[in-house]
């Protein structure tokens, strides 16, 4: 009889998760950063790019299924930062942007009061989740396209 290794998946759900982890292990680093069209992608500070990668790695480690469905708040902030350079943000979108910034930047910076958004109403929460899903779908689509071209 074969001995079970420590931490080896047992259930079908654990095996499925283990396969997802193996298949997508590098995606946290290789997913492109999605920006609003208009040529503003090069203005994202390196520090925010670092926050994005670290947040992705934490999300991947915590819940690979969530990682594959939702972008992290830092990615939403980067996207909305570039969107704000193209046109003014609507109030709801601005609140989501401030919330996204606040969720990862408060560890490092003293933020101005207007960025101190720690909760969202239902409309804002719906927009945040839509953006997270749309960004992740776009990343997966772009990554698949890039892999096909190789």
Q: How far apart, in whole angstroms, are the C-alpha atoms of residue 41 and residue 30?
A: 16
Predicted local confidence at residue 129, as pLDDT? 98
Q: Does 6 map to a domain?
A: no
Q: Does 144 map to a domain?
A: yes
pLDDT digits (tens, 9 = 90+) for 59-74: 999 999 999 999 999 9
Share above pLDDT 70 across residues of the chain, in percent, rounded to a whole number: 93
Identify the domain containing residue 131 by its residue range.
Answer: 34-149
Q: Does 75 map to a domain?
A: yes
Instruction: Give me the number of domains the chain comprises.
Output: 1
Q: Does 5 map to a domain?
A: no
Q: Does 49 map to a domain?
A: yes
Instruction: Work out the mean pLDDT of the chain and round it to a whole number.
Output: 87
Higher pLDDT: 117 or 28? It is 117
CA atoms within 13 A on the CB side of 78: 26
pLDDT digits (tens, 9 = 90+) for 49-103: 999 999 999 999 999 999 999 999 999 999 999 999 989 999 999 999 999 999 8
Predicted local confidence at residue 3, as pLDDT? 46
* Three-class DSSP labels, the chain: CCCCCCCCCCCHHHHHHHHHHHHHCCHHHHCCCCCCCCCCHHHCCHHHHHHHHHHHHHHHHHCHHHHHHCCCHHHHHHHHHHHHHHCCCCHHHHHHHHHHHHHHHCCCCCCCHHHCCCCCCHHHHHHHHHHHHHHHHHHHHHHHHHHHHC
Q: Does 16 map to a domain?
A: no
Q: Does 26 map to a domain?
A: no
CA–chain centroid gap for 45, Å, is: 16
Q: How far apart, in whole angstroms, are the C-alpha atoms of residue 103 and residue 117?
A: 9
Q: Does 15 map to a domain?
A: no
Predicted local confidence at residue 1, as pLDDT? 43
Residue 140 has phi, psi (to 5 degrees) of -65, -45
């Amino acid at each position: 009889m074969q001995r079970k290794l420590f931490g080896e998946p047992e259930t079908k759900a654990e095996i499925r998760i283990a396969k997802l982890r193996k298949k997508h292990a590098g995606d946290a680093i290789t997913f492109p950063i999605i920006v609003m069209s208009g040529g503003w992608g090069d203005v994202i500070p390196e520090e925010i790019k670092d926050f994005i990668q670290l947040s992705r790695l934490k999300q991947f480690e915590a819940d690979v299924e969530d990682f594959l469905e939702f972008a992290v708040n830092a990615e939403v902030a980067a996207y909305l930062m570039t969107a704000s350079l193209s046109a003014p943000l609507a109030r709801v979108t601005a609140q989501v942007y401030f919330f996204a910034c606040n969720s990862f930047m408060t560890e490092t910076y003293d933020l101005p009061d207007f960025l101190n958004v720690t909760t969202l109403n239902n409309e804002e929460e719906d927009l945040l989740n839509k953006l997270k899903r749309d960004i992740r779908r776009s990343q997966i689509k772009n990554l698949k396209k890039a892999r096909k071209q190789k």
